[in-house]
Structure 1
Amino acid sequence: MAPFPVQGITEGDFVVVLVPVDTEDPMTAVAEKIAYHAVNRRVPEDDRPMAVRHNGRVLAGDATVIDAGVAPLDVLEVVYP
């Protein structure tokens, strides 16, 4: 387990944020950590489940940052598929 910086943006937002995640965090936790900075601030809350998109593909919810091949400071998008 190690701190791992990523850039994140939530669907419907215009601000890219720098978010510290953990190398062992599943994508469900990464989505929550990124969305925390936008939902109910600039983006309305949505009841649908969140997913993480990286380089155009939606990642499995149980994949870790390392499993998904994410590099430090890569941009991850939180989307509602």
Structure 2
Amino acid sequence: MAMLPLTAAHKEDFVVLLVPVEDTDTIAQVAEKVAAHTVGVRVASRNAPLRIRCRGQVQPDHLTVAEVGLEPMDFVEVFYDE
């Protein structure tokens, strides 16, 4: 396991965050880690799944950070899948 920092933002937020994740975290776990800093703070909670877009593509929830090939300081965008 290796910790790496990602830059992240929620699509409905104006703040870019620095979020530490593990390379073994799934994309779904990364979305939850980002949402912990945005949902209920500056973004309204919704009854919809959170997704992640990086490098112009929506990533499957089951893949890990390492499988996607994310590197330190890569940018990810979290959004509600509606």
The verdict on a shared fold, with TM-score over 0.5 as the criterion, is yes
User: Where in structure 2 are there 5+ consecutive unaligned residues?
Assistant: none
User: Where in structure 1 are there 5+ consecutive unaligned residues?
Assistant: none
Percent of counterpart pairs with the same letter? 41
Residues 26-45 of structure 1 mapped to structure 2, 5 A cutoff: 26-45=26-45
Residue 40 of structure 1, CA deviation: 0.5
Deviation digits for residues 16-46 of structure 1 (CA, Å, limit 9, x no counterpart): 0000000000001000001111110000001
CA distance in 2, matches of 1:46, 1:3: 29
CA distance in 2, matches of 1:70, 1:2: 12
Deviation digits for residues 44-74 of structure 1 (CA, Å, limit 9, x no counterpart): 0011000110011000101111110111100
Q: Which residue in 2 is equivalent to 1:51?
A: 51
Q: When you count helix as a share of all residues, which structure comes out higher?
A: 2
Cα RMSD (Å) of the superposition? 0.7
Q: Could you state the TM-score of these two structures normalised by the residue count of structure 2?
A: 0.94
* Count of matched residue positions in the alignment of Structure 1 and Structure 2: 81
